Amino acid sequence: MDAFRSDRRARPLSPLLLGVVIGAIGLVLAIGGIWLAILGGSAYYVLAGVAMLGSGALLFRRNILGGWLYIAVFVLTVIWAFAEVGANNWALVPRVIAPLVLLVATLLVMPTLSRHPLRWKLGLGASGAAVALTAVTALIFAQMAQTGPAFDLPPLGQEMTDPALAKAGDDWPAYGGSESARRFSPLGQITPENVGTLKRAWLIHTGDMPSSPKIAKTYGGENTPLKVGSMLYVCTPKNIVLALDAATGKQRWRFDPKVPDDAIPYTAACRGVSYYAVPGASADQPCGQRLIFGTLDARLFAIDARSGARCASFGANGEVDTKIGMGNTPAGYVSINSPPTIVRGVVVTGHQVLDGQDRWAPSGVIRAFDAITGKLRWAWDMMHPDWNGYPPTGQTWARGTPNMWTIASGDEQLGLVYLPMGNAAADYYSSLRRPQEKQFATSLVALDVTTGKPRWRFQAVRNDVWDYDFGAQASLVDYRGAPALVLPSKQGDIYVLDRRTGKPLTPIGELRAPGGGVEPEQRAKTQRVSLWHTLRKPMLTEHDMWGMSPIDQMVCRIQFRKASYKGFFTPPESDRRSIEYPGYNGGTDWGGVAIDPRRGVIVANYNDMPNYVRLVPRAEANKKGWAPRDQARGEIGGAEGAGDPQAHTPYAIDVNAGWRLPFTGMLCKQPPYGGIRAIDMASGRTIWDRPLGSARTNGPFGIPSMLPFEIGTPNNGGSVVTAGGVIFVAATTDNLIRAIDLKTGKTLWSDVLPAGGQATPMTYSVNGKQYLVIAPGGHHFMETPIGDEVIAYALP
């Protein structure tokens, strides 16, 4: 036994240094642990902190007992970790990995404090065992995303009618494949068996890159090209439209509407353009085939699809100013970044109004224009339902009303357009809202395309103060013999509605909603939820808090305990933070869902992150200099809601999107932060569900870890599913595009993109060859690299 006693004659420096490190960490854990325990949280941190203080002090004195004490702390930590979260790999990371690193260091230092003849062999052997344990853990992580499906795919043979005039096939004639927005291609040349051989067929640069570092903070891209005939149509962040040869990528023509930088709203993005063939027009008639699209400065253009020339008979020389009738519209406040929807020759467009600036921001009015002449057909202003055209002289459309910033879908047979509506201006304060705004906000509204009058509405959130506006298109399907639509939402619920009436075709329930907040009298007692399928995960608990070490996990636990959190629909407060879960990025955002109509399978990629929110009293916001953009907002970019003034309300809003720690940039909730799921539409059950996105470009302090593990990252952009049984999706923050097996959810192929893939891919065929195309423009909010590439893939 004497051989294992501390050797006081040697004076090695390593135990002293290790003692300082362990003792310092112990001090932080002890102090923070006391705070957490007072708040009602776990007592582990204070106990571990005190024990590590003792271990550090003993090691500092070069006493080998300090090493044995730390070994005991580690063993008990592992027991506590498994007792708290079981075998959840990602949840174990902050609880075990950092302590494991200190264990290896301790095992290497302990031989310097012993006289035993085998001390170095024992120390190195124990350290090797710890490293081997880490390697085994890494192998387990690598297998996490490759779990098998829970159920088999439904059989082939289902038939769904598509009311759209132009359908996906050899072409991709609309943003969602067709105006039915299924994001499905009947092409089957690329299959799970051969997709692994996909290669880049061509790559081009559009030339639309930010003019300065400041403008780079706004670029988002988000484009999905169209393909009609031999032409591929691409729209860049500042609305430059390019026509490319679909087989080679060679540019045929280029149209630049000259959008100024000061017109950029929150994001410089052009999700797409719309194609329209004039009925009865000859093949060589000028503008017989045309592209119609909006711009960041809220102009609506019509250009010849063959030449890129303006359609002179449309509006004034091919353009219409959609700001007419809106009153004061400062630069950047009103923009069109989504393609219009064209039904029965009527072009229906909404627009984005810059979020969070002013309760009386410009109107959310919906307009419809003649696809040939550009003449205003009708306007729907919910505050003036009897107005059919432009406002009377001296008046404007009602300010501050909910807008449709995203993409509508349309039914050519029923003559309806389905509008995913946003919220009234000032998302997080509701007392100044008018009855009509409360009625139509956060709703899917079906308008008669001939009259512009509402046929029906379906509201997902009552008096929304969470920015849960509808971001995704509704996808038109057949469901149990009825013409229906699938409606995904930011809060994660998926609904199936009769598209003739808006009547729910799948079960819907009522959730008792928490009250309180700064407007308790405004909060609804219940909120609507889907009982058929939801992407929402269970309520957060303290155990769900994360980080890269016990220290930042402890900080997140303290923040969790300090915040107001009463479950789903927790109202925002002003005297402390509140937790909004899911956050405003979804659930499902503008990427929408893809649907295989032959099997009745929904493919939904989704986000799973909270927001950390606080309403900031006006006086405090004024001291911080938070003012509307046209006054003194300062630099644009960054996360939406992070210091938005909400002028003309009592409160500004401060949103910590994703709930990130200020020092490391890591998210407080444990992974995964995003996933992809296949859903049987007949039953609503999950076929398979897996994390989407690896940790390769993510890490603490913004340093890429380059780890290949599927952590499940935040994602923006949708997927496309093909008759070949392959799903194509990018969207994640790891800058990869993936091919996923529809049957199993397994990744079959991937490629590293030159910029962030925050866009929905599309697929088409030329001369019997199937191509996959994506425009990876990157995204400032997702913090991915900006780029101007358009990339096509094909089999060799």
Residues 6+ apart with CB under 8 A from 109: 12, 14, 15, 18, 59, 67
Specify the residue for token string 């590293």.
Answer: 752
Active site residue 467: yes
Strand partners of residue 255: 241
DSSP 296: T
* 539, 567 Cβ separation under 8 angstroms: yes
> What is the rounded CA–CA span in Å between residue 43 and residue 28?
14
Nearest to 715 by CA among 730, 728, 732, 729: 732
Tokens of 678: 């296949």
- Integer Cα distance of 693 and 738 in angstroms: 9
Task: Give CA 366 to chain center in angstroms.
Answer: 25
Contact predicate 99/106, CB 8 Å: no
In contact, 491 and 513? CB cutoff 8 Å: no
Give all strands of the β-sheet with 719-722 in edge-to-edge order: 184-185, 719-722, 726-729, 736-741, 747-752
Pick the closest to residue 369 from 384, 380, 354, 385 (CA basis). 380
For 682, other C-beta atoms within 10 Å of its C-beta total 13
Q: Name the pairing type of β-strands 482-488 and 493-498.
A: antiparallel
Residue of 304, 467, 469, 788 marked active site: 467
Q: Which residues contact 241 (CB under 8 A, 6 or more apart)?
A: 233, 234, 235, 254, 255, 273, 291, 293, 303, 308
Distance CA(85)–CA(82), nearest Å, equals: 5
CB atoms within 10 A of CB 583: 28
- The gap between the terminal CA atoms of the chain, to the nearest Å, is 70
Pairing of strands 289-294, 299-304: antiparallel
Rounded to whole angstroms, how far apart are CA atoms 169 and 227? Answer: 10
The CA-based angle 489-406-329, given to 5 degrees, is: 130
DSSP state of 344: T
Active-site positions read 467
